[in-house]
Amino acid sequence: MFFLYIELQKAIATLELWKKTFPGDDIPWSNLAEDHASLGEFGKAQENAQQAIRLNPDSRFAYRALAWAYLGLNHLDEAKAVLRTALERKLGGPREHIPLAIIALAEGNTAAFERESAYAKGTADEGWSLLQRGLVAASHGRIRQAEELSWLAAESDQHYKLIDFAAMDILNIAHTNALIGAKTRVPAQVDKALSFSKSPDVLAEAAAVLAMAGQEKRALEIINQLLARRPDDTLLQEVTAPRAKAWLEINHGNGGKAVELLEIARRWSRVNFDVLFARSTAYLKAGRSAEAVQEFRNLLELRRLGQFRPTLLSFAQLGLARAYALQGDSAKARTAYQDFFALWKDADPDIPILKEAKSEYAKLQ
């Protein structure tokens, strides 16, 4: 999942003016709900979406926006009720089943996830469904299955001319390989993604993944070019570029510098798993175990938004184990490692980070 935010605050100001100028128009309320949700301001998103529905009870976009707001607030039952209302009113289609599938994931209901995801089959959202299955597989260490599903997602998105999404599907594979320690596979996968699209979003994510994999020169070239070309791109300036540069510092062992670089991205932490995971890892690398524990726990509490990076949830569990070990709390570290191993009980056996985790666990006193 990815978004492009150009001058987001100005966009919000414009929509606020639109509301005042045309108070009976539901469109600015719906758009504001989406923008506030993008910033993690779910209470404001809820208020705007509810008003949009009051103004236009037949706005499918308003119902969808309200559901995402409830999801962000962890009001899962309310989110499901809103989506079902939209479907009962014949306002939705396959896309309304996407958040229902996400809620099923958050609740650990695999059968419901498969049922809701099935509505995407044969539609332009099928790539999303396949990618989600791949990310879920990766979150349990089934990397080969995850790659197969992600490639199928890319093929589906190509079929529907969703070229940027196809590129992002492949970057998700590269992202997973960077996480598990298979970093030598990343450059070729990034090349493949960029052969599909070189849009700013794709380039920015490619740079971040390359940075995670230690491809410093290439990552910096892409990021610096984008920063110069797009000074008003909020997400690039505040999230993707700091995240990429932070990973370069993490790879050099400079956790404190990485934390500093990510400070500008703090307000995005409620909606961007990558920011929270990078900052958690930076604290760990800096030896700041208490802060690392808190940040990894914060990430694990965001399971309801797991559609963005469900893979990071399992790596956050491993990060939590390592943070407890750094604190010298062997009992909590053992429990956290055991929780990670339970998640990865069916994992491919040759994953580098799994071997590392088993070695670390064996050394606990």
Specify which residues 269 forms β-bridges with.
Answer: none
d(CA 13, CA 62): 19
**DSSP assigned state of 267:** G
Whether residue 351 has pLDDT greater than 50 = yes
Sequence-ordered strand ranges (E) for the chain: none
104 touches 113 (CB < 8 A): yes
Q: Per-domain residue ranges for the chain?
A: 1-123
Asked if pLDDT for residue 7 goes beyond 70, the answer is no
Instruction: Write the CATH number of the domain with boundaries 1-123.
Output: 1.25.40.10
CA distance 114 to 100: 10
pLDDT given for residue 159 in this prediction: 96
* Distance (Å, whole) CA 87 – CA 70: 17
Contacts of 203-209 with CB under 8 Å at 24 or more apart are 204/235, 204/236, 204/240, 204/241, 204/244, 205/2, 205/168, 205/171, 205/240, 206/171, 206/174, 207/240, 207/241, 207/244, 208/240, 208/243, 208/244, 208/247, 208/274, 209/171, 209/174, 209/175, 209/178
Model confidence pLDDT, tens digit, residues 22-63? 999 999 999 999 988 888 889 999 999 999 999 999 999 999
Average pLDDT, the chain: 91
Handedness of CA 76, 81, 84, 90 (dihedral sign): negative
Sign of CA dihedral 63, 69, 72, 78: negative
Q: What is the mean pLDDT of residues 337-344?
A: 96
